[in-house]
Structure 1
Amino acid sequence: MDKKNSINSFRFKIGEFSKLCRVTVKTLRHYEAISLLTPNEIDEWTGYRYYNVSQSQKMATIQHLKRLGFSLEEISDIFSTGSDRPDIDRIEKKLEECRDEIEKLKHRATELSCLSEQIKSKTNMDKIFIKTIPSRIVASHRQIIKSYDELFNLCPNILGPEMMKIGCTCPEPQYCYTVEHNKEHCDSNIDLEYCEAVGEWHEDTPLLHFYESAELKNAVCMNHIGSYERFGETFAELLKYLEENDIHITGSPRFCYIDGIWNKESEDEWLTEIQVPVE
């Protein structure tokens, strides 16, 4: 091998370097623009860019760190320390991000599986129907909650024992529901009233207030199957129906709990009837 070929074998034009490292020329130009990987040599007459073997190793490091989830800015910061490896703190932080992403992906997979099953069985949302909901004596509790998850503790562990203590009965048909009193939707600090129909009046307690709920002569109803986080999907269908039929809402919607954590193992089987008073 002559001297010229020997020299050329250790430096590469940008196209050659692109093929060897399996990255596009556009990517190499971008890395040069952000000073992440600059050519080893630029011919002042032709403008040709040349890369050497050590830069192919640096490119491999960049690709590896990208696969580990590091951004180009983070990789540049790592290189600025004189090292080609992240320190322990950076690795621990990235591991925590991975764990968070795994949980998000698990939740997304569950949602997608649920959606797939609902589409296959066509049970995502039952047809809309209108009915009269009679007045009932209810035991009511109202408080600010951070999320609907608090109901899983509030109802069975706090309100249930309180109702049993004062001798409340829950005659058929059983009826419990919640009403949100916020003027607008809130993801947290929800002003929520929980009501459960009872068979008789009782004196109010620090936790419970007894009154007769209003009769809903016309309530547009729709069954929601699944997590309470997805109430918005069902409600969107209801609102579309109301608009198309020129029906007007006259009061706060009720969320009537038929099946839930108390009798179903999977939240995919939770059944809630959304009841909207209308005229």
Structure 2
Amino acid sequence: MAKNKLKIGEFSRLGRVTVRALRHYEEIDLLAPEIVDRETGYRYYSASQLQKLFSITKLKSMGYSLEEIRNLWDDEQHFPTVESLEEKIRKCEEELNMLKERKRMLKAVVDFQKKKYKMEKICFESLPAITVAAHRTIIPSYEDLGRLCSEVIGPEMARLGCICPEPGYCYTIEHGGYKPENIDIEYCEAVTSKGPDSSLIKFKEIPSVPLAACLKVFGPYEKLHDNYVELFAFLEKEGYKIAGDPRAVYIDGIWNQEDPAKWLTIIQVPVEKA
């Protein structure tokens, strides 16, 4: 009975639709199998029915509903009139305009959320006057910063009898701007009082900063440059100008966190309203 017929699975593969879709087409009297075996319930389609299936798929992709497609086949038209196609074009234009407006609204919300997120990440505060022990040198890369602190600056500060207040406060300044290598860096650490200068350590009085933009950065030091750029762009947009050397303040690092993702650095930029 089903000789030279296609089972529903074979028919669905050839027609590139799901079996579920074929069963739905059958339920709404759009495309029924030629044969249904009463004993097994198996459904069989003929190869000639593929043409109708392809037509259904094409009309769906053109925006016609299954009900509209079924009406076309009931009226034996099989394909829309020019007037019908032009109406679909008009509706497409309406939908395009609606989607453009929706896109505009979504972008406005995204821009607002980004600005809000940046405002949440960035805070403004004053920085007190401090006394620091400073060491300026050129390091090959940021990877050498930890070694510089532990092997050079730390021992020399201990030798000079430096006392650091609690909580500790240390930062670096990149002289000459950002460079990925051969970095001209100045390391400064707050101390309770000035001591005698040495060949490695110079003591300085750092004046207070009335207003500084502060940005928290988690991760390795290589990320700092991108965050500086982000912060500077934000400040320019909000009408601030830089009023002093930006500082990278080290809160958590290799000395207490093995995972670089947990290193916390705060960028502090002295600013004033433009």
TM-score range, shorter chain: 0.5 to 0.7
Q: Residues 278 and 125 of structure 1: is their aligned pair in 2 closer, same or farther, counting only changes over 3 Å?
A: closer
TM-score, length of structure 1 as denominator length: 0.53
Q: How does 1:1-279 map to 2 (within 5 A)?
A: 127-182=121-176, 184-279=177-272
Unpaired runs of 5+ in structure 1?
A: 1-122
- The 3-state SS of whatever aligns with 1:262 is coil
Q: Do 1:137 and 1:200's aligned partners in 2 also have CA atoms closer than 8 Å?
A: yes
TM-score, length of structure 2 as denominator length: 0.54
Q: Do 1:139 and 1:211's aligned partners in 2 also have CA atoms closer than 8 Å?
A: yes
Quote how far apart the aligned CAs of 1:240 are. Answer: 2.6
Structure 1 distance, partners of 2:136, 2:229, is 26
The letter of the residue matching 1:277 is P
**RMSD, aligned CA:** 1.8
The letter of the residue matching 2:138 is I
Quote how far apart the aligned CAs of 1:237 are. Answer: 2.4
- Structure with the greater alpha carbon radius of gyration: 2
Quote how far apart the aligned CAs of 1:179 are. Answer: 0.2
Q: Do 1:125 and 1:224's aligned partners in 2 also have CA atoms closer than 8 Å?
A: no
Structure 2 distance, partners of 1:232, 1:186, is 9
Deviations 1:21-71 (A, max 9, x none): xxxxxxxxxxxxxxxxxxxxxxxxxxxxxxxxxxxxxxxxxxxxxxxxxxx
- The 3-state SS of whatever aligns with 1:240 is helix
Question: What's 1:76 paired with?
Answer: none
Structure 2 distance, partners of 1:267, 1:248, is 31
Q: Residues 159 and 126 of structure 1: is their aligned pair in 2 closer, same or farther, counting only changes over 3 Å?
A: farther
Q: Do 2:178 and 2:225's aligned partners in 1 also have CA atoms closer than 8 Å?
A: no
The count of aligned residue pairs is: 156
Q: Do 1:175 and 1:197's aligned partners in 2 also have CA atoms closer than 8 Å?
A: yes
Quote how far apart the aligned CAs of 1:124 are. Answer: 11
Quote how far apart the aligned CAs of 1:125 are. Answer: 10
Q: Residues 155 and 124 of structure 1: is their aligned pair in 2 closer, same or farther, counting only changes over 3 Å?
A: farther
Q: Residues 153 and 126 of structure 1: is their aligned pair in 2 closer, same or farther, counting only changes over 3 Å?
A: farther
The letter of the residue matching 1:231 is L
- The 3-state SS of whatever aligns with 1:248 is strand
Q: Residues 140 and 125 of structure 1: is their aligned pair in 2 closer, same or farther, counting only changes over 3 Å?
A: farther
Structure 2 distance, partners of 1:138, 1:126, is 30
Structure 2 distance, partners of 1:206, 1:255, is 24
Quote how far apart the aligned CAs of 1:267 are. Answer: 0.3
Q: Do 1:126 and 1:224's aligned partners in 2 also have CA atoms closer than 8 Å?
A: no
Q: Do 1:141 and 1:209's aligned partners in 2 also have CA atoms closer than 8 Å?
A: yes
Deviations 1:189-224 (A, max 9, x none): 211100000011100011100011121110000001
User: Percent of counterpart pairs with the same letter?
Assistant: 47
- The 3-state SS of whatever aligns with 2:240 is coil
Structure 2 distance, partners of 1:240, 1:162, is 38
The letter of the residue matching 2:217 is H
Quote how far apart the aligned CAs of 1:127 are. Answer: 1.2
Q: Do 1:125 and 1:234's aligned partners in 2 also have CA atoms closer than 8 Å?
A: no
- The 3-state SS of whatever aligns with 2:155 is helix
Q: Do 1:140 and 1:210's aligned partners in 2 also have CA atoms closer than 8 Å?
A: yes
